[in-house]
Amino acid sequence: MLGLGEVSRLRGDTEGAVELFREGMETSSNWLDLYAFIASFGLVRALQSKGMEPEALEALESADQLARKSATPLYFARLVEAHRMLVLLRRGRLEEARTVLKKQRSAGTSGKEERYVEGLVSDLETLARARLALMEGDVRRCIGLAVSVAQQARDQDRGLHALYANLILVQAHWQAEETDKALSVLKRSLSFAAERGILQPFVDEGAEMARILYRARTLGVDHPLIGRLLAAFPLDQQSTAAAQTQPHSVEPLSPRELRVLTLLSQGLSNKEVATKLYLSVRTVKWYTSNIYAKLGVSSRTQAIAKARQLQILPE
């Protein structure tokens, strides 16, 4: 259940992942606290992907109680705090995240298995520090921390943690206006994810990652996964990102016009679009007319084709 839950989450089925992790916790809590403890972190990540941060923090409390319940290694408590910091950062609660950071403790390890687990925990702690640095605008510190995780995780076969570090690196290089470096790391990340069917970590990065993906395509990054990734982002993030990267030769579509066009491109009728956006059919037709005028077309098919040609819509 834990393995299937993680696969479901990585491939974008967050609802299915939540169900699997909850079932795993319920099953294992009857006989083995360790697996319930591990399942709780999977549940935290799945809830976070669904934008349910308060519920994710509740799941962390459950993990914390399990860690305190019996004699457990120090890294159990560190795992709880590292995940707590990451959830708080996603919520924009920087001050609370800084407080958690000050409490972080390191510990020596002896056996081979413990050294591997120590690496996993250390990755998460350093990724949290890197994300905090990025949010505080300390790009150079963020890059230094993320590079160290990416290299170490890659060398020690923790590919998923290397991907997480690289996604932070892409944003840090982009923020530092180091476009070539950002695109180079992005291409590596896309190749790694495409081979494994991974989508959700990109989407979890939010609107900034959607904007970077749109912009990367206009700069010549022609990777087949980009279209699938963009289609997986929430509609409002797609619309905003597309609006910010439209060619200046076309009068920009408004976020609402982009949402209408995106839904039309998915094969929805005017009535279905109206229902989804809580609009009248007449209003949808009015938006559609504006879209046609701005794109210089006269039909839905032409509008969709033109928008894709201009890379306003994902393929």
Q: Which tokens is 131 given? A: 């994300």
With a cut of 90, say whether residue 169 has pLDDT above it: yes
- Sequence-distant (≥ 6) Cβ neighbours of residue 256 within 8 angstroms: 239, 277, 287
Question: Looking at residue 135, what DSSP letter applies?
Answer: H
User: Would you give the distance in Å from CA 293 to the centre of its chain?
Assistant: 35
Q: Model-level pTM? A: 0.75
- Report the C-alpha gap between 65 and 101 in whole angstroms: 20
Give residue limits of the domains in the chain: 1-72, 253-315
- Sequence-distant (≥ 6) Cβ neighbours of residue 216 within 8 angstroms: 183, 186, 226
- Mean pLDDT is lowest, of 28-37, 79-88, 122-131, 149-158, for 28-37
Write out pLDDT tens, residues 170-212.
Answer: 999 999 999 999 999 999 999 999 999 999 999 999 989 999 9
User: What pLDDT, on the 0 to 100 scale, is given for residue 164?
Assistant: 96
Q: Higher confidence at residue 236 or residue 153?
A: 153
With a cut of 60, say whether residue 52 has pLDDT above it: yes
- DSSP letter string, 164-182: HHHHHHHHHHHHTT-HHHH
Using left for φ > 0, alpha for ψ between -120 and 50, and beta otherwise, residue 71 falls in beta
- Can you tell me the mean pLDDT for 80-92? 86
Q: Higher confidence at residue 132 or residue 77?
A: 132
- Report the C-alpha gap between 81 and 161 in whole angstroms: 17
What one-letter code names the amino acid at 292?
Y
Alpha helices in 136-278 (DSSP H): 139-155, 159-175, 179-196, 200-204, 207-218, 224-232, 235-244, 255-265, 270-277
* Terminal C-alpha separation, the chain: 33
Cα distances (angstroms) measured from residue 137 to each of 140, 209, 221: 9, 16, 26
Q: Which CATH class is domain 253-315?
A: mainly alpha
Write out pLDDT tens, residues 25-46.
Answer: 877 766 656 777 778 888 889 9
Write out pLDDT tens, residues 106-147.
Answer: 555 445 556 777 788 889 999 999 999 999 989 999 999 999
Closest CA to 222 of 199, 194, 249, 241: 194
CATH number for the domain running over 1-72: 1.25.40
Q: Higher confidence at residue 240 or residue 164?
A: 164
Question: Looking at residue 220, what DSSP letter applies?
Answer: T
- Whether residue 16 contacts residue 8, with contact meaning beta carbons closer than 8 Å, is answered with yes
- Length in residues, the chain: 315
155-173 burial, b at 16+ Cβ within 10 Å, e below that, comes to eeebebbbbbbbbbbbbbb
User: Would you give the distance in Å from CA 4 to the centre of its chain?
Assistant: 19
Q: Is 30 strand, coil or helix?
A: coil
Closest CA to 101 of 117, 121, 86: 86
Q: Higher confidence at residue 191 or residue 293?
A: 191
User: What pLDDT, on the 0 to 100 scale, is given for residue 248?
Assistant: 54
Largest CA distance in the chain: 70
- Can you tell me the mean pLDDT for 281-300? 88
Percentage of the chain lying above the pLDDT 70 cut? 90
User: What pLDDT, on the 0 to 100 scale, is given for residue 92?
Assistant: 83
User: What pLDDT, on the 0 to 100 scale, is given for residue 109?
Assistant: 47
Q: Do domains 1-72 and 253-315 have the same CATH topology?
A: no
Percentage of the chain lying above the pLDDT 90 cut? 40
Report angle CA 41, 90, 13 to the nearest 5 degrees: 55
- Kindly report the average pLDDT of the chain as a whole number: 85
Q: Which residue has the tokens 């943690």?
A: 161
- pLDDT tier, 246 (very low <50, low <70, confident <90, very high otherwise): low
Q: Higher confidence at residue 159 or residue 75?
A: 159
Report angle CA 45, 315, 236 to the nearest 5 degrees: 50
